[in-house]
Every structure is written in structure tokens, then in C-alpha cells.
Structure 1
């Protein structure tokens, strides 16, 4: 049995440009695959003033979770200090959450929210 949806939208992406202390400001797309099949993700990033970065492939093994740091995706550079949005499409239903670690101040903050599932 697989739970979740095949398409998820994260309209508010933003990697803070500054960091303090030992932890770097970052965002992560958190994906849970409860199915018995691997999930092939196609991740696309959209910006206000530049062309999108589309169809970045990520694999999430069966019955596993994967935390995809948007500042550490091979071959993709998501700029810091620039708003962006994310679309995640999966070969099997998955659940998607986004987390932001903001260390611009000594008292760091962590924000997390569920992505928006798109019904088809």
C-alpha cells in the first residue's frame, strides 16, 4: 500500500544567504515513501526572475525517507537569498514536507510545513 500523492507543490522556498554559528542555513525537501516500490522523483525549481531548473531526478527507496537538501543537489545550484518554489512529481504516491533552518541570528529557527498535494 502506498500513501500520499504523486504531485506536491512547495510555493515558498528560500535559503537564507547568511549563517551564524556551526550550522549553515538551508532547506530540505523531506520525502516519505511508504510503498514497496522505489519512488522516482522529478523535482523542478521555479524562480521569480530566471528560467526554472526542471526534472532533477531523485530516487527514494521503498519504505524509506529521504531528506533532500536543496543546497546540496549534485549538478544544481539553488541561489541563496532568492525566493523559489518547488514541484515534486513521483512515480508512486509519497508524502512531502519542507523544512528551513535559518541561522542568520545566534538563536536559530527551524520552520517546517507540509507541501500541497495536487489531486489528479
Structure 2
């Protein structure tokens, strides 16, 4: 399999709604980084979160096995500290091997859910 992607990615727009409607956990409002590793090597990924009013937090460490995908919910990132809800943020994602990153948000604050998805910016 050919290796696709880049080692550095940026998601400039992040926001986890502070509440949602519908059954948990499927309809919990969330942000996700969908990380695809097509290489033959395990990807060690670090995520750093940036805010408008305080210093960056991170790195959050994630492993994506070779030739696998991992969907990382920002809501589930706890170490070094939970990513706050109801707060604007951005992030930088850095990997030891090239990966592809897609950003997705489920906003379930209304009964009519909204899903946003976009490819992240790569460097």
C-alpha cells in the first residue's frame, strides 16, 4: 500500500457544543479528528490545543496502528486536561509518519442534528 498524507495538520476551527439532544453517547455533541494511517508503520500522534485566551494545552498522545484509521473525539481527550466544551479552539496534529486528517463535528443541540466535515490543512 502506498503511504498517503503529511506529518503536520492544522484544524483552525474547533468548538464542542456544551450540550446535545438525543441518546448518549451516539448523539453527544462532539468534535472528531479522523486519522488515516496507510503506511506500514505505527503512527505516534501528538495533538496540541490552542485557545484565544490562554496558553496551548498538550500534547495529547494517540497511536494509530499501521494501515488503520482512528476517530479521536476531542471530548474524550483527558490528559493533560479535558478539552473544554462551549469554547473556541484550534489544534495542531503532528505524526511520526504521514497520515490523512479529516475534521468532523456533530452538533446535536437541536433535534435536527447538524454534521460538519472538512479536510484539515496539511503542511
Tell me, yes or no, whether TM beats 0.5.
Answer: yes
Compute the displacement of 1:54 (Å).
2.1
Alignment correspondent of 1:45: 49
Mapped pair 1:33 → 2:34: no
Aligned mates of 1:41, 1:21 — CA distance in 2: 32
User: Residues 54-73 of structure 1: matches in 2 within 5 Å?
Assistant: 54-73=58-77
Alignment correspondent of 1:6: 7
Which deviates further from its counterpart, 74-83 or 11-20? Answer: 74-83
TM-score normalised to the size of structure 1?
0.95
The Cα RMSD (Å) is 0.9
Alignment correspondent of 2:107: 102
May I ask how many residue pairs the two structures share in their alignment? 118
Q: Secondary structure of 1:71's partner?
A: helix
Mapped pair 1:92 → 2:97: yes
Aligned mates of 2:77, 2:18 — CA distance in 1: 17
Structure 1's unaligned 5+ residue stretches are: none
Aligned mates of 1:24, 1:43 — CA distance in 2: 22
1:33-92 deviation digits (Å, cap 9, x = unpaired): 000000011110000111111221110000000000001123231111100001000000
Mapped pair 1:81 → 2:86: yes
Aligned mates of 1:53, 1:64 — CA distance in 2: 27
Structure 1 consecutive aligned stretches of length 4 or more whose deviation exceeds 2 Å = none
